[in-house]
């Protein structure tokens, strides 16, 4: 199976115990020059089933002679998908920092890409909605070009064992509803193919914007950074095309220690309008970030700093 290859180095592999992550681990074990750390986060959502998943992944790591890191949460059965994701990625970032790893590696595949794009369109509708599941510095997703069906076929041929998450059949969760009710069956295949084409086109646009923003940041006139904060020119945030200004803001947040670079489209829009017309001295908090205005700058700090 052809997947995105990783350069030599140490990587934290997120393994839930499901078929996607089990196949990912099996494929990565066969790549030369990789020092792998298996990481599993027990959300505490499914009680004994969650504990059994953790033991299963621990055994996988032990059988392969790999280091194993277990994180635990106590989110409860009513936890949202967003809360579970935040807790999981916070744990994975801690493991990466502990081992000085090149990146976290996740098992997101092509079906996940389509589901996530639809979810983001429904929730925020911004320019980045279609492309949030991409590899980026510190986060590798080598299976994005592989459909779920191929991963299942590989697992069966290789005689791999995996765990089934009972909550994946619960259509009350939006992702499950889309997968089970909207995207399943042969009738959905043409729409899924068109969605993939749209994602690819949008990714090309985003890549071009990111390239331009990288040049802007390198020039240093529009944004200044210290260890704990970012300072952006209000004038240029107002004058740049909206998509470029939005990416500049996202890039600034990504540079702050501990930040997860994600704002909803409406939050980005509100911030850019605020930066244009707000009075000096005004302050605003969104998620983990604190923003305040001077006469010429928008200052951003992460709340943990």
Binding residue positions for ATP: 16-21
CA gap 131, 141 in Å, rounded: 13
Alpha helices in the chain (DSSP H): 19-29, 48-64, 81-99, 110-123, 148-158, 174-177, 189-219, 234-239, 242-255, 265-277
CA gap 61, 69 in Å, rounded: 9
Of 7, 14, 3, the closest CA to residue 104 belongs to 14
* Binding-site sequence positions: 16-21
Block residue for tokens 């302050």: 283
How far lies 249's CA from each of 35, 88, 208, 289, 300, in Å? 34, 25, 16, 12, 9
């Amino acid at each position: 199976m052809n997947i995105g290859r990783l350069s030599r180095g140490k990587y934290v592999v997120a393994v839930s115990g499901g078929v996607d992550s089990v196949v990912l681990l099996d494929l990565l074990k066969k790549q030369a020059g990789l020092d792998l750390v298996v990481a599993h986060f027990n959300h505490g959502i499914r009680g004994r089933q969650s504990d059994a998943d953790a033991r299963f992944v621990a055994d996988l790591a032990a059988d392969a002679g790999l280091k194993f890191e277990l994180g635990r949460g106590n989110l409860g059965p009513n936890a949202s998908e967003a809360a579970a994701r935040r807790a999981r990625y916070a744990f994975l970032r801690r493991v990466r920092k502990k081992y000085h790893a090149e990146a976290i590696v996740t098992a997101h595949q092509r079906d996940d890409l389509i589901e996530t794009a639809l979810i983001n369109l429904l929730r925020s509708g911004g320019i980045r909605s279609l492309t949030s599941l991409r590899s980026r510095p510190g986060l590798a997703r080598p299976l994005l070009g592989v459909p779920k069906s191929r991963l299942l076929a590989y697992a069966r041929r290789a005689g791999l064992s995996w765990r089934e998450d009972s909550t994946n059949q619960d259509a009350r969760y939006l992702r499950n509803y889309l997968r089970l009710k909207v995207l399943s069956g042969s009738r959905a295949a043409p729409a899924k193919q068109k969605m993939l084409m749209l994602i690819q086109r949008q990714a090309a646009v985003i890549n071009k914007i990111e390239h331009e923003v990288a040049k802007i940041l390198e020039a240093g006139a529009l944004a200044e950074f210290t260890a704990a904060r970012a300072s952006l020119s209000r004038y240029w945030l107002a004058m740049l095309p909206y998509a470029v200004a939005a990416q500049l803001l996202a890039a600034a947040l990504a540079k702050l220690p501990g930040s997860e670079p994600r704002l909803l489209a409406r939050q980005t829009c509100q911030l850019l309008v605020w930066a244009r017309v707000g009075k000096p001295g005004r302050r605003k908090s969104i998620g983990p970030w604190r923003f305040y205005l001077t006469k010429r700058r928008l200052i951003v700090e992460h709340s943990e700093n």
